[in-house]
Amino acid sequence: MPLLFIGIDPNTGDKQSPTVWVDRKNQEFVFQGWKPSVELEAECAATEIPGHAQGIPDHEAVIRVPARMVHMIREACDAIERV
């Protein structure tokens, strides 16, 4: 089952394309976003969360998605609930 395209940042240009998809087969959200600054990634890695190891595992990544895409994220939530 192919990814379900939800939307792309309406302010996208040639070099920016934060995007939202739904992976219906695996019941997952897929986000393409901007890489964080070194400072933001370090802050995320240093944040202590109860019951969670500190740091960012090699198989995970921090991304940034603009808040103006919130309606697309809501649409993705609705789409994944219909699967």
Summarised one tens digit per residue, pLDDT across range 25-60 is: 999 999 999 999 999 999 999 999 998 889 999 999
Confidence of residue 83 (pLDDT cuts 50, 70, 90): confident
Residues 6+ apart with CB under 8 A from 48: 54
CB distance 80 to 29 below 8 Å: yes
Average pLDDT over residues 56-71: 95
On whether the pTM is more than 0.75, the answer is yes
Distance, CA of 73 to CA of 31 (rounded, Å): 9
Contacting residues for 15 by C-beta, under 8 A, at least 6 apart: none
As a whole number of angstroms, the distance between CA 16 and CA 56 comes to 24
**What pLDDT is attached to residue 1?**
72
- The share of the chain scoring above pLDDT 70, in percent, equals 100
